[in-house]
Structure 1
Amino acid sequence: MQLILGAVLLGAILSRGSTSVCVAILLGGFIAWIPAFAYSRVAFAHRHVPPGQLLLAHFKAEAVKIALTALLFGAVLMCFNGLSVAGLFGGYIASASAYWLGLLNKIEK
């Protein structure tokens, strides 16, 4: 769902033809997606463990996610001069909100 929402936002901007904004939106979407993927790999690395270890795994995964998000934002902002900051954060917010909307969708069912 994160990738789909990011792609829709990217498609809307592509129709206007601004390459800098499109790249920024794409990078923002990846900044949201990569830490979420890392979270799932760390949090669910071990199955069938006691609840205390499972909770600790989620805390570690959240720490990895926050650190990775900060590092990726820093790297992108340092390496890509002239990048649309609004597009970068817009792509990130769109992809991150898709994650939360997906969670809410699961709760309602």
Structure 2
Amino acid sequence: MQTEEKFDKILELVGPATLKNSFDHIQSAGIICNTGQLGSKWYIEEFDPIVEIKNNSFLTSFYSGNVSQQLIDELFSYIDAYQINVSPQRVFSLEQIPAAHSYIES
């Protein structure tokens, strides 16, 4: 990121290519969720979690490669059992991406 600003949450979609930079922009007790590897880099060289995960922050990840039909069925059962509304509140076009980001942040 080309900013001095710090954030309480960062959704890291580029992955190992930019993850260390994301740590430079996380606030104390902030959360970075690494969920993409769009940077065509698959691992981080010389990564020391104790040093890199600073500011009392957290690193989480999401990997969708191990989703099974059973897990999908459990998810839908949970949604049905607790009557969770999963309908989109609003739909944005590609041209409206900045407005979508503002909406999510509000």
Greater relative contact order (Cα < 8 A, sep 6+): 1
TM-score > 0.5, shorter chain as reference: no
- Which TM-score tier does this pair reach, normalised by the shorter chain? under 0.3
Whichever of the two has the greater Rg, that structure is 2
More strand by share: 2
TM-score by length of 2: 0.26
Larger helix percent: 1
- Give the TM-score normalised by structure 1: 0.25
